[in-house]
Each structure stands twice: as C-alpha cells, then as structure tokens.
Structure 1
Amino acid sequence: MNKNLILLNVLISMVLHGQDHDSVKIKPAVFSVNPKKAVTRNTSGINVGVLDDYKKQKINGLNLQANPLSLIYPLIPKAIPAPTEKTSTVTVNGLHISTGGMVDGEKLNGVGISIYHHARVTNGISLNFYNNTSGNLRGIHISGFANNSEKGYGLHMAFIGNYSDDFKGLQVSGFNESKKMRGVQIGLINKTENLKGFQLGFWNVNEKRKLPLINWNFKTKTKKS
C-alpha cells in the first residue's frame, strides 16, 4: 500500500511539473484555457483550466479550475509545503474557484474557494475544504482541516488546527500553535513560544505559564545585546 501511495505522489508531481515553464511563450488574452503547450496567456478576464497546469502567468479576473486530484489528495503520504519563489507559478488577482486546488501558486489576491490551496502568498479571503498552506497568509481564511503559514495575519479558522511561525490577529481552532503570537488564540489547546495577547481554551501554554481556560502575556521577549 505504501508503495502505491509513493507512486501516486510521483505521478501527481509529473503531471503538475512535467513541462518546462521557461520554454513557453506568454501572451495577453481576455479569455484563455489551460493547459496549452505552445502559448500561455496572461489573462484579464476569464481563464478556464483543467488540472494544476500553470506557468509563470497572471490571471486578472475569474479563474475556474476543474481538478480531479481532489479525489486522491487525502492519499498523498507527505504534506505538501508552501511553494518557494523558484517553484511557484501562477498569480491570480480576483476570484479563484476550483474543484480541487493549486499546489504551486505564486499569489492569490482576492477570493479563493477550493478543496485545498498551496501558494507562496495569499491575500484576501479563502474557503477550503481541507487546508490552506501559504508562506504568507493574510486576511480571512477558513479551512475544514488546517491553516499553515510562515507569517499569518488576520482571522484564521480551522476545525483541526492553525499553525504559524509568526502570527498577528485571531486564531480559532481545535489546536492553535505558533512560535510568535501577537493577538488572541481560541481553541481546545493553544500553544505559543512568544506571546503578546490572550489565550482562551481548555489548556493554554506560553513562555510564562501553563493554565486552563485563560492565559496571557503582555511582556515580550527582548534581545540581549
């Protein structure tokens, strides 16, 4: 079974990244379709895509994506990280709606509705059935499973958990964890290594103390010279 899952992951990677992005010409369009091997469009209008087959392109307007990978997404044996600047592809400014999602987005500025979402930068509002994993995650983001970010700002809500290296705002979930937290955590279990704000939950942990129901800290750590 494990061999089958590994093979599945390899096949998905081949589908998503099998083409050479640098060899593709990018031209402007009001309406475009993905994937196209020879010509890729920077779209100001509507783009309709199948699978997560984007290049270094920009879509300003409406991006509609049919992605059947959502059916096998839960079987992927290893969590998909946020893409890097080198590996990220498409930028969507506007409304992104997908039956699956993207795993190599450069930026989403606007509203995203999908099964899962992985981008280097996400600004605005997103609704995700599984998870949102973004290097920089700003705005209101609601996920059925989890929100993960290196830097997070705003309101992040998830049924299972929220995780961020550096977060400012409000986290609401069953389990909230951050290395640096400026704001409020509300959940069954809240944990942070550097807190300025409140924690409300069944069990709350920060650098000062461990307490049930409510915890707080307003004196931040200072670096010694």
Structure 2
Amino acid sequence: MKTKFLMMISFFMVCIINAQDSLNAMDKPKFIAFSPSKATKNVNGMLIKYYDEIDQEIQPKKVNGVGLGFNGLGIFFPVLFLVNITSIDNWGINDIGSEPLPDKMNTINGMQLSIVNMEPTVTNGLELSLSSNISAPSVINGIAISPLYNFHHTTKGVAVSTFANVSQKCRGIQLALINICKDSRGIQIGFWNENGKRKMPLINWNFKNKKL
C-alpha cells in the first residue's frame, strides 16, 4: 500500500515539474519568433508576423526589439484609400472607436516595420509602414511615419504621413495633407485639419480636455 502511495506521489510530482518546465519554456524570451503562434509570448529580438487577431487562442506578445509585418493584403489597402480620398469622412474612424485592450494586444518596445498592420498593437517607439494600422484599435506612443497614411486609435507623440493621419484620440502632433482626430489635444498641420473643436486649413489646435 505504501509503495503504491509513494508511486502515486512521485507520478504527481513529475507531472507538476513537467508542466512547470513547459510554462517556463513558453515564458522564456526568444531572439527570433513568428506570429501567429500560440507558443510565443516574449521576444527579445525580432518578431516576424503575418496577421494576429484578438483571439483567445492567440497569445499576445511582448517584443523588445523589432516587429516585422508581412501581410500581403496590405498592398491593396493604400490603393483603395487613395481612390476614396474625397470621402475622408467615411474612412473607418468609427470602426476604431472602441477602447483598446492592452492585455489582449501585442506590445512592441522598439520599432515596428510593416506594409500594413492589421493587428491590435501598442507600439512604444518608432513605427514605419506604407499605411500604419487598419481595422485594429492600435496605439502609438512615439513616432509614426508613413509615405501614405497613418491610422491609429490613439496617437501619443508625432504622426507624419503624406496623405492622411486619422485617429480617435491624439496627444501631440499630426502632420499630413489631411489630419482628423475626434479627441485631440495638440497641433495639426496640413491642407485640411479636423479635431473635436473645429475644422481649419493649414493649422489647427486644441489644448483643452474634451467635454463629456
């Protein structure tokens, strides 16, 4: 009886140790990782990503380094937006109205390079892309630069593009031909600028909190 009991205890302990080892292996930062991936959680180096969604089956990732996005669909979005540039009021700003959920979003501390980012992402640093974030409640804390468009839920810092910067919430500077932000505290410089207070050409500003 004692022998069976000791065997059961030993088996139970081995299971616990194996489970702990598996968790430690998943938590251990990787130098190069790929996304989507259920196993990758922390990256100190480079994350090569295609398309992550807010999904219970996809593990949000923390990257200290560089995030490289190669979503081929992103090639078509800049063309579609350029064709519809006259209907700027209809450009998905209402689609990104929901508040971001940082605990379910990828976090990149460093640099994000992409054709287009369609993943919920918090970027703390520099973001370079053809058209930054589309159909995702993304956040930039730093500088976002695009030769075409910048789309974010929240912009804290500087957004620079050729055609348009569109955000739900802005704290800083927007610089493009067209700048739109519903909740803006900062400066907009461009051919046409809109914030929650006024619409103006060339330069627009607001430094007061939005009234509820």
TM-score (norm. length: structure 1) = 0.61
Judged with a 3 Å threshold, the aligned counterparts in structure 2 of structure 1 residues 186 and 40 are, in CA distance, closer, same or farther, namely same
Distance 1:154 1:186 in 2: 18
Aligned-pair CA distance for 1:157: 0.5
Query: Larger Rg: 1 or 2?
Result: 2
Deviation at 1:92, TM superposition (A): 0.9
Q: Whole-Å Cα distance in 2 between the matches of residues 38 and 153 of structure 1?
A: 34
- State which of 122, 136, 152 in structure 2 corresponds to 1:107: 122
* Alpha-carbon distance in structure 2 between the residues aligned to 1:150 and 1:157: 15
Q: Which sits farther off after the overlay, 131-140 or 74-83? A: 74-83
Higher strand share: 1
Per-residue Cα deviation, 1:74-120 (whole angstroms, up to 9, x for no partner): 3378744437435963111111111x121232311100100122243
RMSD between superposed Cα atoms in Å? 3.3
Cα distance, 1:43 vs. partner?
Answer: 0.7
**Alpha-carbon distance in 1 for matches of 2:63, 2:188:** 30
After the TM superposition, which residues 1-225 of structure 1 pair with which residues of structure 2 at under 5 Å, given as runs?
27-49=27-49, 51-53=50-52, 55-73=59-77, 74-75=79-80, 79-80=91-92, 81-82=95-96, 84-85=99-100, 89-98=105-114, 100-118=115-133, 119-159=137-177, 161-180=178-197, 187=202
Q: What whole-Å deviation, never above 9, does each CA across 1:7-52 have from its counterpart, x for those lacking one?
A: xxxxxxxxxxxxxxxxxx9533232332354422311222222x22
Gaps of 5+ in 2: 1-24, 54-58, 85-89
% identical equivalent positions: 25
The runs of 5 or more residues in structure 1 that have no matched partner are 1-24, 197-219
- When residues 79 and 28 of structure 1 are mapped into structure 2, their CA distance, relative to the original with a 3 A threshold, is farther
Alpha-carbon separation, structure 2, partners of 1:157 and 1:57: 30
Contact 1:57/1:89 (<8 A) preserved: yes
Question: What is the aligned partner in structure 2 of residue 11 from structure 1?
Answer: none
- Of the structure 1 ranges 76-85 and 149-158, higher mean CA displacement relative to structure 2 is found in 76-85
For residues 91 and 39 of structure 1, the distance between their equivalents in structure 2, rounded to whole angstroms, comes to 16
How far is the alpha carbon of 1:63 from its aligned partner? Answer: 1.4
CA distance, structure 2, for counterparts of residue 153 and residue 44 of structure 1: 29
Residue 163 of structure 1, CA deviation: 0.8
Tell which has more relative contact order, 1 or 2 (C-alpha 8 A, sep 6+).
Answer: 2
Query: Quick check: which one's helix share is greater?
Result: 2
Q: Which SS does the other structure have where 1:69 is aligned?
A: helix
**Secondary structure class of the residue paired with 2:180:** strand
After TM superposition, give the deviation of residue 170 of structure 1 in Å.
Answer: 1.9
User: What is the DSSP-based 3-state SS (H/G/I as helix, E as strand, rest coil) of the residue aligned with 2:118?
Assistant: strand
Cα deviation digits, residues 112-166 of structure 1 (max 9, x gap) = 100122243211011113322222211111012211222212221012x111122
Answer whether contact 1:59 1:91 (CA < 8 A) is retained.
Answer: yes
| Cα distance in 2 for residues equivalent to 1:157 and 1:86 | 27
